Structure formats: C-alpha cells, structure tokens
C-alpha cells in the first residue's frame, strides 16, 4: 500500500513537477485551440463536398474519409513528422500535429455533419429556396443550423476525443502536458507526474463526459 | 531526378519493400492479435458491467459509473504510460503486449458499458412490466426480453467505438509492442528511407478500410429510423 502511494501519489514529486506540467497544459490548450476549429471547419467542408453535384467530388471525398478513418492518428502523425522530411517537407512538431490531426478529425467531424444533413428534411431546402434564398444562403441560414443542432451530442463527444488525441503529440516531442509529465517521470523514476497529468485531464474532461452521458442516455431519441 | 522518380524512391523503394515486407507482415499479425483480444474482452466486460448496473444497487452502480467516466475521460496513451511504467515499481511486471491489451480492454469496456446501458434504458418500461407480469423473474425479463431489444440499438455506436479503439493498438509502439507502426518506424530508422512508413500506412489501410466499410454498412442496416 505504501509502495503504491509512494509510486503514484507522491505529493513532493507532484509539486516539483507541477510547473513543468502546467506549462505543458498551456501547450495542450494551444494545440486544442488550433486543432478543434481546423477539424470543425474541415469537417463542414468535407460534408458539403460530399453533397456536391459532381460525382467525382463526392466519390473522392468518400474515399478520403475512409482512408483517414482507417489509418490510426498516431500513424498519420508519425508519417507527417518522420516520413515527409524524406520528401523535403520539414514541419515543426506543432505544424505536424496540426496537419495530421486536421486530416484525421476532419474525416470524423465530416461524417457527423453528414448525418446531421441527412436528418434535415428535403422540404426545408425546397422551402428555403422557394422564398428566394440563394443556395448558399439556404445552406448557411436554414440547413446547417438545424443539422448542427441535431448532431450536437456527437460533435461534443468527438471534440472530447480530439482533446484526448492531442496527447499523441508527445510522441513527436511536442512539449504538451503528457510529454512534460513523462519527462518528469523519467527524471524521477516515479509515476506521480503522470498521475497529476491524468488528474488535470480528468478535471478538464469529466464534466463534458458526464454531459455527453446525459445527452445520449436514450439511444434513438 | 524528376519529381515522380524522387517520390517513388522516397516512399516506394523496391529494395526496401523487399527487405522489410516480412517485418511489416509480422507486425500486422501482432496488431490483429491484440485487436481481437481487446474486442472480445472489452465488449464482454462492458456487457457484464452494464448488466450488473441494471440491478441498480447504488454503491455498485456508482463504482461502475466512476470507472466508466475515468476511462472515457483519460487519453489512452496516459493510461498506457501509467500502467507500463508504474506497475513494475510496485512489484507487478506485465509484458508490453499485456499492458496494451489490458488498457485498451478497460477503455473499450468503459465505452461499451455506457452504450449497453443506454440501450437497456431505451427499452420501454412497459416491456419490463409486461415481462414481469407474465411471471418472469427479473433476470429472465432482462435476458429474454429487454437485452435482445437493447443490443440491436447498441450495434451502430458500439461498432464505431470498437473500430476507433482497435486502431489505438498503434499506441503500443510507444512501449515497444512489435505491431505495425513499431515495425515500420524501426525499419525506417534502419533503412534511412520513408518507404517502411508508407508500407505501415498501407498495412493499416488493408486491415481497416474493410472494417470501416463494414461498419458503415452495419450503421445503416441497424439504423434506428425516427418516425
């Protein structure tokens, strides 16, 4: 029991590691601020392209979505970070993370928006156009707001996944929270810094996870 | 060298492919093994937890909720590092394969429990009452009436979640599980060429594109049509 406390809940080591981990938290938040909006916008574009009149565009987008949903995000990240330099494209860890996760999360957000669009009846589109709105206006003022509202729980749930995803950035040495905590762990031979980082993730995400459970507790509405 | 040749030389170099193909194939086998083990234990454990929760014993249910919330809120990589580096220091030694299997199973179990529970809740109260009034015990009503209806509702979300979590087998590379990504990065540093990374990515596509497509088919097949 004492060994467990010593190994996982050592307050001295936690307080020593805290400044480093808090700086890491700053980087984690910065990555989220970049990746979440990129994914939300990319996903919307993907979903809109999936409804385009051009066949080739629809099929191209569907194929891309499948590819980026099939490749694990860590594989994508390592490919961008370690593979592209061989082709002369050298990105900083932060830029690699943004590019890799943009591709991954756009595909996921795109699928969610698609389900949202499907849930808005075609009559809405016809009614909007018949009142004289242009196609763009009908989309932005009538279809998208309803679609987003219908899939809001899924969007929130996916955003939690994206925040958790940012921990992978530690693998390419971006000094975010998990990287900082793991560095402290290897310096102290003690897991308490990682427990501290885990506690911070919990504080950030637990309320949202609870909220999602409430929103989703009846399948099929 | 023109652009096309440079691209082939960088990502599809023939000698490198021939040299490292066996390693990547070995990695694919390991990935499939872990993924299969995780799917079986994770979904079974999730189902058991949801069934236990349906008996509504307050302290037990609260423990299950806390477990499910924590496992859903923490990034899996945090749990992997915690278990892999923490347990040996308190005298528990697990192989990296076992650590990855354990962590991913627990994470999948947490999500599966929530999905099964939502499924059980969404079966109408009248079904319970009708089943009990015909003389079925609580357990019989649960297993013969409620669960069969609940499971159907859970298939699409559970499929998506399971696919997402089995892809997390790639996290094993961080603790040295010799799965696809690990083989690919090792081969890349030995060969000084990006071809193994491309081979790794293609290996994942071969394994998971069919899974994603089947997942989408299941989603429409079992879709809950709103009136």
Token look-up 């990746």 returns A35
Is residue A14's pLDDT more than 60?
yes
**Closest by CA position to A144, among listed A162, A128, A163:** A128
CATH number assigned to the domain with residue range A2-216, chosen from the 4 options 3.30.420.10, 3.90.870.30, 2.40.50.140, 1.10.3720.10: 1.10.3720.10
Is residue B12 a part of any domain in this protein? yes
- At residue B224 the predicted structure's pLDDT band, cuts being 50, 70 and 90, is low
Residues 110-149 of A with CB under 8 A from B: none
Backbone dihedral region for residue A105 (phi beyond 0: left; psi -120 to 50: alpha; all else: beta): alpha
Is residue B131's pLDDT more than 90?
yes
Residues 30-69 of B with CB under 8 A from A: 69
**pLDDT tens digits, A16-30:** 999 999 999 999 999
Question: Is B69 in Cβ contact with A71 (below 8 Å)?
Answer: no
Task: Quote the CA–CA distance of B182 and B172 in Å, as a whole number.
Answer: 8
Read off the pTM: 0.90
First to last CA, chain A: 46
**pLDDT tens digits, A61-113:** 999 999 998 999 999 999 999 999 988 889 999 999 999 999 999 999 999 99
The CATH number of the domain holding residue B169 is 1.10.3720.10
**pLDDT tens digits, B185-216:** 999 999 989 999 999 999 999 999 999 888 88
**pLDDT tens digits, B154-187:** 888 898 899 999 999 999 999 999 999 999 999 9
Q: Which domain holds residue B183?
A: 6-221
Task: Quote the CA–CA distance of A198 and A206 in Å, as a whole number.
Answer: 11
DSSP assignment letter at A217? S
Does A109 contact chain B (CB < 8 Å)?
A: no
The mean of the pLDDT values for chain A is 92
Is residue B1 a part of any domain in this protein? no
- At residue A212 the predicted structure's pLDDT band, cuts being 50, 70 and 90, is confident
Does B151 contact chain A (CB < 8 Å)?
A: no
Chain B residues within 8 A of A73 when measuring between CB atoms? 167
Per-residue exposure over B18-28, b if at least 16 CB sit within 10 Å of its own CB, e if not? ebbeebbeebb
**Distance to chain A for B71, nearest Cα, Å:** 10
**pLDDT tens digits, A110-169:** 999 999 999 998 899 999 999 999 989 999 999 999 999 999 989 999 999 999 999 999
| Long-range contacts from A39-42, C-beta under 8 angstroms, 24+ separation | A39/A101, A39/A102, A39/A105, A39/A106, A39/A108, A39/A109, A39/A162, A40/A109, A40/A155, A42/A102, A42/A105, A42/A106, A42/A109, A42/A110
Share of chain B above pLDDT 90, in %: 68
Is residue B226 a part of any domain in this protein? no
Token look-up 């969404």 returns B122
Question: Is A194 in Cβ contact with B81 (below 8 Å)?
Answer: yes
Domain ranges of chain A: 2-216
Does A192 contact chain B (CB < 8 Å)?
A: no
**Based on the structure, what is the number of domains in chain B?**
1
**Distance to chain A for B140, nearest Cα, Å:** 23
First to last CA, chain B: 62
Q: Which of B10, B91, B204 sits opposite A87 (nearest CB)?
A: B10
């Amino acid at each position: 029991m004492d060994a467990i406390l010593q190994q996982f809940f050592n307050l001295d080591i936690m307080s020593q590691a805290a400044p480093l981990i808090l700086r890491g938290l700053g980087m984690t938040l910065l990555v989220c601020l970049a990746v979440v909006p990129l994914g939300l916008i990319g996903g919307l574009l993907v979903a809109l392209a999936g409804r385009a009149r051009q066949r080739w565009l629809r099929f191209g987008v569907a194929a891309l979505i499948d590819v980026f949903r099939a490749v694990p995000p860590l594989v994508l990240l390592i490919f961008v970070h370690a593979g592209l330099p061989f082709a002369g494209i050298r990105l900083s860890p932060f830029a690699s993370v943004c590019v890799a996760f943009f591709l991954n999360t756009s595909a996921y957000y795109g699928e969610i928006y698609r389900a949202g669009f499907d849930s808005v009846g075609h009559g809405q589109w016809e009614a909007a156009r018949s009142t004289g709105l242009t196609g763009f206006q009908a989309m932005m003022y009538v279809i998208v707001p309803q679609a987003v509202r219908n899939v809001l729980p899924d969007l929130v749930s996916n955003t939690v996944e994206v925040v958790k995803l940012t921990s992978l950035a530690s693998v390419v040495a971006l000094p975010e929270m998990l990287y900082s905590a793991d560095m402290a762990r290897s310096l102290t031979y003690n897991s308490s810094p990682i427990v501290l980082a885990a506690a911070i993730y919990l504080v950030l995400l637990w309320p949202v996870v609870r909220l999602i459970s409430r929103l989703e507790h009846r399948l099929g509405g | 060298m023109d652009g096309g040749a440079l691209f082939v030389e960088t990502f599809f170099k023939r000698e490198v492919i021939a040299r490292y193909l066996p390693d990547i194939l070995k990695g694919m086998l390991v990935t499939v093994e872990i993924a299969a083990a995780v799917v079986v234990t994770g979904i079974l454990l999730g189902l058991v937890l949801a069934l236990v929760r349906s008996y509504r014993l307050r302290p037990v249910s609260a423990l299950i909720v806390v477990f499910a919330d924590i496992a859903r809120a923490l990034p899996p990589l945090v749990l992997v590092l915690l278990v892999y580096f923490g347990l040996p220091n308190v005298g528990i030694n697990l192989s990296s394969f076992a650590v990855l299997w354990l962590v991913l199973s627990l994470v999948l179990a947490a999500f599966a429990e929530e999905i099964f529970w939502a499924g059980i809740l969404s079966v109408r109260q009248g079904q319970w009452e009708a089943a009990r009034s015909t003389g079925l015990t609580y357990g019989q009503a649960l297993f013969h009436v409620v669960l069969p209806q609940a499971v159907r509702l859970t298939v699409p979300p559970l499929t998506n979640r399971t696919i997402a979590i089995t892809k997390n087998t790639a996290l094993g590379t961080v603790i040295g599980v010799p799965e696809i990504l690990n083989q690919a990065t090792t081969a890349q540093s030995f060969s000084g060429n990006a071809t193994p990374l491309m081979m790794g990515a293609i290996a994942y596509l071969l394994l998971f594109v069919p899974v994603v497509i089947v997942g989408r088919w299941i989603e429409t097949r079992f879709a809950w049509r709103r009136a």
